[in-house]
Structure formats: C-alpha cells, structure tokens
Amino acid sequence: MAAKIRESKGSAYESKGRFFIRVTVANRKRDDAHAPWAKSLEEATARGRVMQAMVNRLRASETQDALRKEFIAKIVEWGAVADEAKLEELERLVAEMVAGDIVKLPAPPSPASKVPTYGAVAMQWVKGELHALYPDHVDRKRSAAGDYGNLRRYAFPELEHTPINKVGLEDYERVLRNADARSTKGKLPPATRRQIGQVTRKVMELAVYPLRIISTNPIPASAIPKKRRGPVQVFLYPDEDAVVMADKRAALGHRLLIGYLHRQGCRRADALGGDVEIVEGAVEDEDTFGDVPPLTWGRVDLRRGYVLPDRNKSDDASLTPLDEDIVLALTAWKRISKKTKPGDPVFVDDDGEAIDPDDATEIYRDVIRAALVEKDCDRPELWKAARGQLKLRLHNARASFVTVALLSGRPEEWVRRRSKHKSSALERYRRELRTYEELNLGYWTPLHLAIPELAEALKAAEDESAAAFAAANAAAAPPRTPSAPTPRRGKNRMVPSTSEPVGARGFEPPTPRPPV
C-alpha cells in the first residue's frame, strides 16, 4: 500500500545572480541544487516543480525501498543540471521504478556540465545580463557592440566552446598569436591588439567575480599588450579654420558645426546625437542605451553660458561652460535659424533639418577641403595618410581643440573638463606639442566674428536694440519748457546764447549705449 505523504509543489530561488531549485525530499527536509542553465527565476521554478513531482511519486511508492531512497537522495542534484534529453531519461526511470521494475541508476552528471563556457559568460556580459544581476560590480558599456565584435572575430574561434574553468594562459596567447591572420585588414595596429587582449581577459575577470566560477584569473594583467605610440593625428590650424568659417559657399549651419567642434572639443554625439549600436538580444536599458538625442535649444543656456549634455560615452552629464564667442555665435544663430523651440536641434542645415550624424564626417571633409583649395592653402597631409599618420576625419576636430588649447597655454584641467577627456587620454597630445610650439599657431578667431553672417546678424541686432532704446527714452522723457537765461555775475557778465541747444557743451550726460 502506497505511503501517504504531504505532496509539495517544489520551488526555486535566486542568490547572488544564480538560480537554485528547491525540492522536499523527506519530512521537514528540503534539498537545494544550482541550475546553471537557468536564465530566470521562472525557468528555475518550472524545473523545481518537475523534480518535486518525480520525488513525490518516488516517496509515495513502496517498491525497491533501498534503491528508491538512494535515487531520491541524488535526483534533485541530477535534475537541476540535466538537459531536456537527460530530464526525459530521469522521468522514464522514475516511472519504471514506481511500476516495480528493476532499474539501474544513471551515471552522475559530469562536473564540467555545471560550468558555463567562455562564450556563454562573454555573451552574458556584452548583452547586459551580468549588469542586471550585479549592477554594483559590472558596468553596462555603451561600446559593448565593439567588444562583441572583437570577441566574435578573435577570441571565440579559440575559446567559445571551452568551459571557462579550462581556459588558460596558453589559450589567451593563442588568441593574440592568430589575431593578425583573422583580421580582414592584415597586420593589426598595436591599439587594436591591446583592445583584443583587454576584452579577452575581462571575460575571465568576470568569471572570478562576481560569478565566482574560478578562484583566480589565469591571465595576468601584464599579459595585455603594452601601449604603443599611436599614429599622429593631424589637426586644422587656426588660420585654416578662419578660412573655412569665412567661406560663404558652404552652408552656414555646416560651418557653425565645424567651428563649434573646434572650439568646444565635444564628441560628435554630444552635438548631433546618434544611434547606439547594441548586441542582438541585449537587455533593454533606455536610461543607458537609448539613442543619444542631438543638442537642442532647451539644453543651451545662453544667458549663463553653458550646455547641459545628454548621455555620453563617459557617462558625464555635468554642464559644460561655453566661451563668450560661442555664446554670441549661438545667439546670432538662434536669431536667424528657422527652428528655435526648446525641442529643436541646434545644428541644422539651410532648410532647418537636423544634420545627420552619419553624414557629419563627409560634411566636415568637403567643407574644409573646398575652402582651403579655393584659397590655395590646402595641405596634402590632411587627406592622404602617411606612415605613422592618419588623414583628417571628424574625430580630428577634438584633436584640433585639444592641441590648440594646450599650445595656447590653457590648463590641462580646463581642457579635460571641456572635452570630457580622461587625464590619461591627453597623454598622446603632449608628445606632439613640442613639434608645434615653435610654429606660434595662435588661437581660434572668435566664432561670432569668424563667420560673417553671424557677425552681421549681431550688428543688426545691436542697431535694432540701440534704436529701440533711444525711442523708449525719447518717449519716456518729459517735454522741456525753455526758461529765460540767467545773466552771469562777474566781470564779463556774459550770457549764453538761447539759440544754442541744451547739452551741446556737455551739460547733460551722454545717453548710455544699450547692451548687446
């Protein structure tokens, strides 16, 4: 006769980002087992209920008592790690045992089956799953798509299906050794090799903590390729910038964008916004991974002179001050631009449409090249990459800002705050400063004066303000009643002429000039 037991339902729980099934195996006794394959509490709970149903059937059966008790003691651990095929085998064995058949217990699962592969851990990282589980210890990177690209091309061919506890230093060295052969561009630059080493080692670091799969990282930090001197970044000279700003053949909005980037040093996304490339299947996170909107008038305070940026690469959303010439330039631009509501983008073309960030590099090159060729002051190194040097690209606007600012004596801290650079990122610019210090390049022409249309708009605004100020004073002043002149007492007894206008000799203070 079957024993009467209190049937439990089975459950699961989460601990430090890992999921466990919980099954009652005897009166007042429950067993827990880690389910390494589970991605959610719901999945683990479903497995816990399946295993509890098996245990309930075994506990209620009186056949093969000794074997049944041995099976119950092991089935929770086995069922927690079993795949679908193994799970079906366990259900078949339970049915046979309850029916009274003699069965042979299956072999315990291999310990390696509990350990995720290198590829599984890497994908948890780049998809943001580890950040969701361990937000205090794993950051969500906006460059995750780039990290995934390096992993997929260079690390995964060697390590993807290897249990992460089996990955060693020699495997890492093999990744770097074969990197050039896997590149579509031949020999990789030192900076790319360093990025491959960093991202490959990072996955192993996550396996140490917070995942705690392995105790130590087999790849030491010293194994990452060393920093090498990168290529020289060309930049636009201030006198060349003045030529570009004055070229009225180019769209005014395009020239304003170029001048702003040269003088403010921000990234393209900080001015134009842009899409964020994410890994397919990544955890949604609008606060961190939503598309970056373009700079709008609502985030520009022209009265106090600062910009409040949106999300950016450095996660630094602190306000950025604007120099006076940029404030005046934006003031004039707002006066003549077609769309100036708080939600409208600042940088638009002549039709009032937002400049597409994907077109910004082509615009940057075309506008600069056309202006320099017209004035016969073009430099070939801007367009043709030489050995150890890169040709001009939009990112060189930041290089132009940093180099010119440091050459002009701006403090490094000031440069870093404006450009949102980290201190270490400015090191490469210091190497090039001595080359240009003797050239006496000067500083940028004030933006509101460098662009003729903006200078004209400011002059027109100043004239209108002065006229309005004078008209207001004239309307508010009371009419003057002429009075009889009072003879002077003294030796000559001279009397001022009544025909002379009042104030002609400076008796009244001049009308103050209205502020711009």
- Give the residue range(s) of CATH 1.10.443.10 domains in the chain: 232-448
Enclosing H/E stretch for 167: none
- Give the residue range(s) of CATH 1.10.150 domains in the chain: 118-223
Distance, CA of 423 to CA of 392 (rounded, Å): 24
**Is 238's pLDDT higher than 70?**
yes
The 3-state DSSP class for residue 242 equals helix
Tokens of 252: 């005014």
**What separation, in Å, do the N-terminal and C-terminal C-alpha atoms of the chain show?**
100
CATH of domain 118-223: 1.10.150
Tokens of 274: 């842009």
Distance, CA of 19 to CA of 12 (rounded, Å): 7
**Is 111's pLDDT higher than 50?**
no
What is the predicted pLDDT for the residue at 504? 40
Specify which residues 208 forms β-bridges with: none
**Is 503's pLDDT higher than 70?**
no
In 173-285, at which residue ranges do the beta strands (DSSP E only) sit?
232-233
Q: Quick one: how far is CA 233 from the chain centroid?
A: 22
Distance, CA of 441 to CA of 240 (rounded, Å): 10
Which residues neighbour 275 within 8 Å (Cβ) at sequence distance 6 or greater?
291
DSSP-assigned letter for residue 393: -
**What tens digit of pLDDT does each residue of 260-281 get?**
999 998 888 889 988 766 777 7
- Cis omega before residue 108 (within 30°)? no
**What tens digit of pLDDT does each residue of 170-181 get?**
999 999 999 999
Compute the average pLDDT of residues 76-101: 83
Give exposure, 484-504, as e/b (b: 16+ Cβ within 10 Å): eeeeeeeeeeeeeeeeeeeee
**Is 347's pLDDT higher than 70?**
yes
Q: Are strands 232-233 and 389-390 parallel, antiparallel or unpaired?
A: parallel
Alpha helices in 408-446 (DSSP H): 412-419, 427-437
Place of tokens 């699962």: 109
**What tens digit of pLDDT does each residue of 354-400 get?**
999 989 999 999 999 999 999 999 888 888 766 656 678 888 898 88
Residue pair 317/295 in contact (Cβ under 8 Å)? The answer is: no
Rounded to 10°, the helix 412-419/396-407 angle is: 160
Mean pLDDT of the chain: 82
Decide which of 55 and 63 is more confident: 55
**Is 195's pLDDT higher than 60?**
yes
Give exposure, 29-62, as e/b (b: 16+ Cβ within 10 Å): eebbbbbebbeeeeebbebbbbbbbbbbbbbebe
Distance, CA of 130 to CA of 215 (rounded, Å): 18
- Amino acid at residue number 221: A
Distance, CA of 336 to CA of 349 (rounded, Å): 12
Task: Find, among 393, 447, 452, 442, the residue nearest to 247 by Cα.
Answer: 452
Distance, CA of 104 to CA of 57 (rounded, Å): 18
With 0.75 as the threshold, say if the pTM is over it.
no
What is the predicted pLDDT for the residue at 109? 58
Q: What percent of the chain has pLDDT over 90?
A: 40
Which CATH superfamily does the domain covering 232-448 fall into? Intergrase catalytic core (1.10.443.10)
